[in-house]
Amino acid sequence: MGLLGGGWSPVFLLENVMPLTAVSLDVPLHADRVRDPRRTNYHAGVSAEHSVARHYARLGAVLRETRWRGPGGEIDLIFAEGDGIVFVEVKKSRTHAQAAQRLSQRQMARILLSAEAYLDRCPEGSLTEARLDLALVDACGAIEIVPNASMAT
């Protein structure tokens, strides 16, 4: 008995290898590594949110919530700034202008509805000083803040 045992020979093994021409060219060689654009966008968005959170923290704001869900939908970041609350919607794109275009009036209305619900949980309720900022992140990671964006549109 040889190394391969049971009468197997290296010649037999090579004869039974599938020829390269039989491999389908329709499937990428590393199909398991093909990027799903939705997953890539998700991770880019999470990374942008982390960068924006660090930016606000450097300015002295205290992060209270991330991806908080209210009746109108999700608010990306919520900070305490003194006695007030800052709601932040983060948008990432190649340029700041393209990122700004990703926020629709409909989405703004949904965010404001959720912000009202969040304020209902605060001791001062709807009398709590609050604003909604739009944080724009470009492809290089540069951050531009549009303060009180709900009033700017």
Q: What is the DSSP string of 51-107?
A: HHHHHHHHTT-EEEEEEEEETTEEEEEEEEETTEEEEEEEEE-SSHHHHHHT--HHH
Alpha-carbon distance 71 to 64, whole Å?
Answer: 18
Tell me the domain boundaries of the chain. 34-152
Alpha-carbon distance 53 to 62, whole Å?
Answer: 9
Q: pTM for this structure? A: 0.73
Q: What is the pLDDT of residue 18?
A: 47
Alpha-carbon distance 111 to 26, whole Å?
Answer: 43
- Below-70 pLDDT ranges, the chain: 1-41, 43-44, 152-153
Q: What is the pLDDT of residue 47?
A: 85
Architecture of domain 34-152: 3-Layer(aba) Sandwich (3.40)
- Token readout for 90 is 């983060």
Exposed e or buried b for every residue in 81-113, given b needs 16+ CB within 10 A? eeeebbbbbbbbbeebeebbeebeeeebebbbe
